[in-house]
Amino acid sequence: MISERKRIASQFRSEGQGEASRIQGDKERDLAEIQSEARRQAEIIRGKADSTATAIYAEAYNKNAQSKAFYSFLRSTEALKKSLDENTSIILTTDNELYQFLKESN
């Protein structure tokens, strides 16, 4: 009788572990689907935001000559800022675009 109960208990444990494994697998599959969909939606949102930002930049850039000069200057300084660190010195030639902007601003 004791061995029969141990066998039944072992069978229940085995079935429970199998069910737990199935649930764990379902959870991991569902999680992967949710994360994949979230990434897809994030990329769509980023694409729309980039598109809107580009349209705004283009509109502002094409508005007048003064804004064209400003956005050219802004892009030049942003590119320069990304390429420099605090231990870097920069020497500009007189035909450099950034130098020209700085000279014209005086």
pLDDT tens-digit readout, 33-87: 999 999 999 999 999 999 999 998 788 777 766 667 777 778 877 877 777 777 7
Q: What is the CA radius of gyration of the chain?
A: 32
Judgement on whether residues 73 and 50 belong to the same structural domain of the protein:
no
Contacts of 68 (CB under 8 A, 6+ apart): 61, 62
Judgement on whether residues 51 and 103 belong to the same structural domain of the protein:
no
With a threshold of 0.85, does the pTM exceed it?
no
What range defines the domain where residue 15 resides?
1-62
How many domains are there within the chain? 2
Taking the C-alpha atoms of residue 26 and residue 9, their distance in angstroms, rounded to an integer, is 26
Judgement on whether residues 96 and 56 belong to the same structural domain of the protein:
no
Judgement on whether residues 2 and 46 belong to the same structural domain of the protein:
yes
Judgement on whether residues 11 and 22 belong to the same structural domain of the protein:
yes
Judgement on whether residues 47 and 72 belong to the same structural domain of the protein:
no
Judgement on whether residues 95 and 45 belong to the same structural domain of the protein:
no
Judgement on whether residues 85 and 47 belong to the same structural domain of the protein:
no
pLDDT digits (tens, 9 = 90+) for 14-34: 888 989 999 999 999 999 999
